[in-house]
Amino acid sequence: MKSLACHTAANQLRTRLIISLRAESPTVKTFVFKDELCGGAKPGQFLMLWIPGVDEIPLSIMDARDDGRVAVSVKALGEATVALHQKRVGEPVGVRGPFGNCFMLNGRKPLMVGGGTGIAPLMFLTRRFLSRAVSTTFVFGAKTRDELLFRGELEKFGAKRVRLVKSTEDGSCGLTGLCTEPLEQMLARERFDEVYACGPEQMILKVFELTEQSGVQMQASLERLMRCAIGLCGSCVIGKYRVCSDGPVFTSKQLRQVKNEFGLSKRDRCGKRVPLD
Ligand SMILES: Cc1cc2nc3c(=O)[nH]c(=O)nc-3n(C[C@H](O)[C@H](O)[C@H](O)COP(=O)(O)OP(=O)(O)OC[C@H]3O[C@@H](n4cnc5c(N)ncnc54)[C@H](O)[C@@H]3O)c2cc1C
Ligand code: FES
């Protein structure tokens, strides 16, 4: 449990300038800014980014450095994310955070499973594992080759440090189909110490079912509607948990406890339970 003073500082809105940006794919851009508090974030934590005059949105931290540099990778989807994509270097954004818990780095043989922008926090986690001389297996997928995020950076690590299993739904890169398809065989053939997943919730649910069958522990980062990010408003609730403060990372044991909602439903802006998209 975080101390109140710690939360108060993290929850203070800070104005920060974008110091660099790059296109990761036709729809995803990475934005870098300097922020001392978020620079100390751990893999799995998120921040709230305020796009002045538009909205404030939750984003996973893709990288955080000791010198305060912080990166987020954002898909242009709706009003806030499209407005953010129009920002240039030197323009201001507002930052609160870091919030939430983090992935626990367990064992010496981790397996990452990422889809879409869910790959972002797993990149941060992979760098942390590598800094402890732990190599990883990284299963990742997207609809097309262009949308397969961080492919270049992952390939640069080298196969000995990061073993890659790529898949695309249209077959333009790696295996054809969903990234969960090769998993069943992998989990049957090899023993992994822990599986880490982030991406669309249907993907996470499939990974959960496979890890339950093979008896491997899992940690998954979930997304829900977030407003306050500090456990007050209740908009991110899943079962007895608030994703912003009890999560966003949940263990296999916790996912079992919320199986009536996990992969099935979420809360809308009025707090009503609605089916997942
Ligand atoms: C913990 C967490 C980490 C996330 N990390 C990333 C990331 O690294 N990169 C990334 O591109 N996206 C991430 N998202 C999703 C991102 O917050 C939404 O895409 C964004 O809020 C959409 O806002 P919009 O105005 O552009 O689109 P809208 O048209 O308003 O919404 C598009 C969809 O995004 C979701 N959404 C909208 N507002 C919120 C909100 N306040 N909280 C949560 N979901 C919302 C809803 O499902 C909605 O249907 C994360 C969400 C959470 C909860
Ligand atoms: S976002 Fe308000 S309680 Fe989680």
Q: Using one digit for the tens of pLDDT, what is the confidence trace for 79-107?
A: 999 999 999 999 999 999 999 999 999 99
Answer whether residue 277 shows pLDDT above 90: no
Q: Which ligand is nearest to the CA of 277?
A: 1
Ligand nearest to the CA of 231: 2
Ligand 1: atom nearest CA of 75 is: 11
51 DSSP β-pair partners: 55
Q: Which of 242, 246, 250, 268 is the best mutation target for the ligand 2 pocket, counting ligand atoms within 8 Å of the beta carbon and taking the most?
A: 242
Is the distance from CB of 142 to CB of 115 less than 8 angstroms? yes
Confidence of residue 274 (pLDDT cuts 50, 70, 90): very high
pTM above 0.85, yes or no: yes
Ligand 1 atom nearest the C-alpha of 84 is 26
Average pLDDT over residues 65-92: 97
Ligand 2 centre distance from Cα of residue 162 (Å): 35
Tell me what pLDDT residue 8 has. Answer: 85
pLDDT tier for residue 146 given thresholds of 50, 70 and 90: very high
Instruction: Give the position, in ligand 1's atom list, of the atom nearest the Cα of 82.
Output: 26
Judged by its nearest atom, the ligand closest to the C-alpha of residue 57 is: 1
pLDDT for the residue numbered 7: 67
Residues in CB range of 163: below 8 A, 6 or more apart? 135, 136, 137, 138
The protein residue whose alpha carbon is closest to atom 50 in ligand 1 is 59
Length of the chain: 277
pLDDT at 3 over 70: no
Q: Is the peptide bond before 98 cis (omega within 30 degrees of 0)?
A: yes
pLDDT band at 5 (very low <50, low <70, confident <90, very high): low
